[in-house]
A = this chain, B = another copy of it.
Amino acid sequence: MPYELYYWDGLQGRGEFVRLALEEAGAEYIDVARQSDGTAAMMKLLKSKSAPYIPFAPPFIKDGDLIVSHVANILFYLGPKLGLAPKDEALRYTANGLQLTITDFVAEVHDTHHPIATTKYYEDQKEAAKQRSADFIENRIPKFMSYFERVLEQNPEGNKFAVGAKLSYVDLSLFQVIEGLRYAFPRGTKNFGERYPKIIAVHDAVEKRPNIQKYLASDRRLDFNESGIFRHYPELDQDA
């Protein structure tokens, strides 16, 4: 039975971290909200007044009857099934810790354009967004990126992967983070290759993987846009 992925149609968003894992593994899945009536099915589940253990928000997956929500939880669950988690059980907690650091970073990316309220328009919080983005480029990007660069440097099994000696979903998520940052902040990320060579090497290696190449060339991969997490507002970008 194929996995069912539930996520908003029309944007990459947080769903993309899950899609990349499913695509790399060549897993069968249905991107429910991109089917006709799919969004209605998703909303029905989210708003159910009787179903047990309803998720707070997309993305979530269904595997048979089981619903798993939140990107890191979904990847923790799917990782071993897709061959994208370390075999060593202890290292799975390491992978999850790294993925949760990515989760926190992605939430901060979102707040660069919505620092005051998710329910308000970007235009109505633009001044705060400028301040938050300046701090994000100056302080937060370097803090997170130099952390992941160190994780790669200090991986006892080599520098090519975030955890262990094999590709994991964490590497796929790092690829997506770099793609997103470059889209949103072309000026802020200009010198990434020099500053974070090991992360960029992971990004480039992921990009060349056959299943990822196929996926990126397909119409299943949507372009970044200003409904997603990573948004390009030139006024929020600046040189690092």
Which of A's residues lie within 8 Å of B, judged by CB? 48-56, 60, 66-70, 72-73, 76-77, 90, 93-94, 96-97, 100-101, 103-104, 107, 111, 115-117, 119-120, 125, 128, 131-132, 135, 139, 144, 147, 150-151, 154-156, 163
B70, B93, B151, B155: the one within 8 Å of A97 (CB): B70
13 contacts between A and B (CB under 8 A): A48-B154, A53-B151, A53-B154, A53-B155, A67-B94, A68-B93, A70-B96, A70-B100, A70-B101, A73-B93, A107-B107, A115-B132, A117-B131
Q: Distance (Å) between the CB of A134 and the closest chain B CB?
A: 9
Top-3 shortest CB links A-B: A117-B135, A70-B100, A69-B97
How many angstroms from the CA of A69 to the CA of B147 in the assembled complex?
Answer: 14
How many angstroms from the CA of A103 to the CA of B70 in the assembled complex?
Answer: 11
Copies in the complex: 2
Chain B residues whose C-beta falls within 8 Å of the C-beta of A97 in the assembled complex? 53, 55-56, 60, 67-70, 73
Chain B residues whose C-beta falls within 8 Å of the C-beta of A66 in the assembled complex? 90, 93
How many angstroms from the CA of A68 to the CA of B92 in the assembled complex?
Answer: 10
How many angstroms from the CA of A51 to the CA of B51 in the assembled complex?
Answer: 45
Q: Given known contacts A97-B70, A100-B72, is B53 in contact with A163 (CB within 8 Å)?
A: yes
B119 and A93 contact, CB distance less than 8 A = no
Known: A52-B155, A53-B151, A70-B96. 5 other contacts (CB 8 A): A53-B154, A55-B97, A73-B93, A107-B107, A111-B115
Chain B residues whose C-beta falls within 8 Å of the C-beta of A144 in the assembled complex? 56
Q: Distance (Å) between the CB of A158 and the closest chain B CB?
A: 11
Chain B residues whose C-beta falls within 8 Å of the C-beta of A115 in the assembled complex? 111, 115-116, 128, 132
Q: Distance (Å) between the CB of A80 and the closest chain B CB?
A: 12
Chain B residues whose C-beta falls within 8 Å of the C-beta of A147 in the assembled complex? 56
Q: Given known contacts A90-B66, A117-B139, A135-B120, is B96 in contact with A76 (CB within 8 Å)?
A: yes
Chain B residues whose C-beta falls within 8 Å of the C-beta of A103 in the assembled complex? 100
Q: Which residue of B lies closest to A154 (CB)?
A: B52
Q: Distance (Å) between the CB of A156 and the closest chain B CB?
A: 5
Chain B residues whose C-beta falls within 8 Å of the C-beta of A94 in the assembled complex? 53, 67-68
B117 and A100 contact, CB distance less than 8 A = no
B50, B101, B154: the one within 8 Å of A51 (CB): B154
A50 and B116 contact, CB distance less than 8 A = no
